[in-house]
């Protein structure tokens, strides 16, 4: 099963994360199937704290990937921020 979850990057005491599609059996920082964006909770500008490839996330969810709780919330926020039309 594929899961969309965070992969930790950054330095000691200053984490940042990449949003990635990974196999459930792989470790937190293990091999990824596809990088889908980033999340930097410590960025000074709130609008720059995350960047997601929403179209690719939609694709993975359509083929059965399950997002983690944190990724689900990030996607929800990103959808609110992007104007549709």
The pLDDT value recorded for residue 85 is 53
Number of domains in the chain: 1
Question: For residue 41, what are its two tokens?
Answer: 């909770």
CA dist., res. 17 & res. 9, Å (int): 5
| pTM of the predicted structure, to 2 decimals | 0.86
Alpha helices in the chain (DSSP H): 54-62, 69-81
pLDDT in tens, 62-84: 999 999 999 999 999 999 877 66
- Residue-range definition of the domain harbouring residue 28: 2-81
Burial class (CB in 10 A: 0-12, 13-18, 19+), 75: buried
The CATH number covering residue 50 comes to 3.30.1320.10
For the chain, 85 residues long, the average pLDDT of each consecutive 10-residue run is 93 94 88 94 90 95 95 92 66
Report the 10 Å Cβ neighbour count for 48.
10
């Amino acid at each position: 099963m594929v899961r969309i979850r965070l992969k930790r990057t950054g330095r000691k005491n200053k984490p940042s994360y990449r949003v990635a599609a990974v196999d459930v059996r792989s470790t937190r920082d293990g091999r990824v199937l596809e990088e889908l964006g980033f999340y930097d909770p410590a960025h000074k500008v709130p609008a720059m704290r995350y960047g997601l490839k929403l179209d690719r996330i939609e694709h993975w969810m359509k083929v059965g990937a399950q997002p983690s709780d944190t990724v689900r919330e990030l996607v929800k926020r990103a959808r609110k921020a992007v104007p549709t039309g």
